[in-house]
Amino acid sequence: MTDHRSGPRRRGATLLHAIFEATLAELAESGYANLTMERVAERARTSKASLYRRWPSRADLVAAAAGHALPADEELPDTGDLRRDVLALLRMIADRFDGPLGAAARGLMAETLHHPELGRELRSRTTGNRERMMRAILGKAVRRGEIDPDVLTPRVVLTGPSLLQLHFLQYGAPVPDEVIEQITDEVVLPLVMQKGWHRRTGTTPTGWIN
């Protein structure tokens, strides 16, 4: 057992980073079912109490670690162009899949295949990260008048990241850029830029732009 009191004291961002890396590594190696605050604390060379102070449950900790491994809000693309923003965000996510987050995602999926119930609580939290990032860049296009906010259901918003994730899970990393371009140009852009959806379904547009 590592003595977490040895070595220099770490604080703030450095310690957080160590804790999140340890969480992803544990998730990749042992899975969510076997992940304990104790093992994470040991691996990160900190105390269990300091984990519980911040995250009341392992689900909270894992969701925080996954969120930390994704681009921060200030890193999100903002090129003024919807296509460039979507491409940049999907590339950022693909890039993260080729690291500790990807290994953790593979570990979690391996576990979910045998025990679907284990991943449910967790997945709603981690899926939220991807929806938030996509909404951040799609929201800019809404404000520029490029897209109709009414079409941005959670299912639509998550379609690009979902196709990327399935490709990563099936074929591993790195995800070829050709795949990212196809997902962007053939699926995401046509979906979010669709017009006439309301005419077809007979629903009333409530927030039509243009």
Note the residues at the interface with its own copies (CB under 8 A): 106, 109-110, 112-114, 116, 119-120, 123, 151, 153, 155-156, 159, 162-163, 165-166, 169-172, 182-183, 185-187, 189-191, 193-197, 200-201
CB closer to its own copies, 22 vs 189:
189
Nearest distance in Å: CB 51, its own copies: 27
Please identify, using beta-carbon distances, which residue of 2 and 153 lies nearer to its own copies. 153
CB of 114 to its own copies, least distance (A): 8
Cis, peptide link before residue 174, omega less than 30° from 0: yes
Helix (H, G, I), strand (E, B) or coil at 58: helix
Q: In the complex with its own copies, which residue's Cβ is closer, 187 or 209?
A: 187
Q: How far is the CB of 52 from its own copies (least distance, A)?
A: 28
What's the closest the beta carbon of residue 189 comes to its own copies, in angstroms?
8
Q: Which is nearer to its own copies, 44 or 191 (CB)?
A: 191
Q: Which long-range contacts (CB under 8 A, 24 or more apart) does 148-154 make?
A: 148/194, 148/195, 148/197, 148/205, 148/207, 148/208, 148/209, 148/210, 149/207, 149/209, 150/197, 150/198, 150/205, 150/206, 150/207, 150/208, 151/191, 151/192, 151/194, 151/197, 152/192
